[in-house]
């Protein structure tokens, strides 16, 4: 029996972000190489993207490669980049069919040229799609993002484009890579780790956090439904009292 029908369709998170973790441990426990875990993880991506479009989630952001992940063994990094290219190629038609707009955040210039080319191609081809924005965080670090925003804002102040009084949270938001996305409502991390690992620090200020022990390659649609149902049972108070909300 699917949990899907327990989801209240008028109380969906507008923005779900996922730290897809545990590929390496999943593979190791089965006696495989880590890279096999990454390959299996792409199936979970497909399932979750499909589940989100079916439900009508407007924004899904996936942490696929962090600024710190460049420090992994060269071969693992290379395999991850190749997987990215092949997945983009494979999934392009599904994105078109399901009206998914691809977006990417992070220090994209650091990605191999081949990845950049494929990424920009899919972003451009899907730019008019309206149903869901799928954002891939690639070579992404939240501190880098905030540092970049700070530099841009300082530059504008220096050149008298804005004054210091204009700096507020809306302005800061407009200088982040996520400028066109709403705040994260639900942040999911798989694999049992309970940390944020430099992901969307600003954007999760009031997100509901959901941690599951399931490794990413084992994460299926039902696991996502479970997370959404759990989210819907929470009371989001945004600093107010429970009584004020009713």
In the complex, which residues of this chain contact ligand IPE (CB under 6 A)? Answer: 19-25, 63-66, 69, 80, 191, 193, 195, 197, 216
183 labelled catalytic: no
59 labelled catalytic: no
- Give the active site residue among 10, 21, 124, 129: 21
Q: Which residues bind Mg ion (CB under 5 A)?
A: 21
Mark 86-122 as b/e (b = at least 16 C-beta within 10 Å): ebbeebbeebeebebbbbbbbbbeebeeebeebbeeb
Alpha-carbon gap, residue 177 to 43, rounded angstroms: 27
- Give the active site residue among 69, 107, 173, 198: 69
Least spacing, CB of residue 37 vs ligand IPE, in Å: 6
Nearer to ligand IPE, 178 or 191 (CB): 191
Residue 195 interaction partner, one of Mg ion, ligand IPE, none, beta carbon < 5-8 Å per kind: ligand IPE
Nearer to ligand IPE, 177 or 216 (CB): 216
SS3 100: strand
**Contact between residue 118 and residue 85 where contact means Cβ atoms under 8 Å apart:** yes
E strand map for the chain: 15-19, 59-66, 100-105, 132-140, 186-189, 208-211
Residue 69 interaction partner, one of ligand IPE, Mg ion, none, beta carbon < 5-8 Å per kind: ligand IPE
Token digits for 88? Answer: 């983009």
Least spacing, CB of residue 79 vs Mg ion, in Å: 15
As annotated, the active-site residues are: 21, 69
């Amino acid at each position: 029996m699917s949990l899907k029908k327990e989801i209240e369709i008028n109380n969906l998170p507008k923005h779900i972000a996922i730290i897809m973790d545990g590929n390496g441990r999943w593979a190791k426990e089965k006696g495989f190489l880590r890279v096999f875990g990454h390959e299996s993880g792409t199936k979970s991506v497909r399932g979750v993207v499909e589940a989100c479009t079916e439900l009508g989630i407007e924004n899904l952001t996936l942490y696929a490669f962090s600024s710190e992940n460049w420090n992994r063994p060269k071969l693992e990094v290379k395999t991850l980049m190749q997987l990215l290219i092949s997945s983009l190629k494979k999934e392009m038609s599904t994105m078109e069919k399901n009206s998914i707009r691809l977006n990417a955040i992070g220090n994209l210039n650091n990605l191999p040229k081949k990845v950049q080319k494929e990424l920009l191609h899919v972003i451009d081809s899907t730019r008019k799609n309206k149903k869901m924005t799928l954002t891939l965080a690639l070579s992404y670090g939240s501190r880098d993002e905030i540092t970049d925003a700070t530099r841009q804002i300082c530059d504008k102040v220096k050149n008298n484009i804005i004054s210091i009084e204009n700096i507020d949270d809306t302005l800061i938001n407009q200088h982040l890579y996520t400028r066109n996305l709403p705040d994260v409502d639900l942040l999911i991390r798989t694999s049992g780790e309970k940390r944020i690992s430099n992901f969307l620090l600003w954007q999760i200020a009031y997100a509901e956090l959901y941690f599951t022990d399931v490794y990413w390659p084992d994460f299926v649609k039902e696991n996502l439904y479970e997370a959404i149902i759990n989210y819907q049972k929470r009371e989001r108070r945004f600093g107010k009292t429970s009584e004020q909300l009713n």
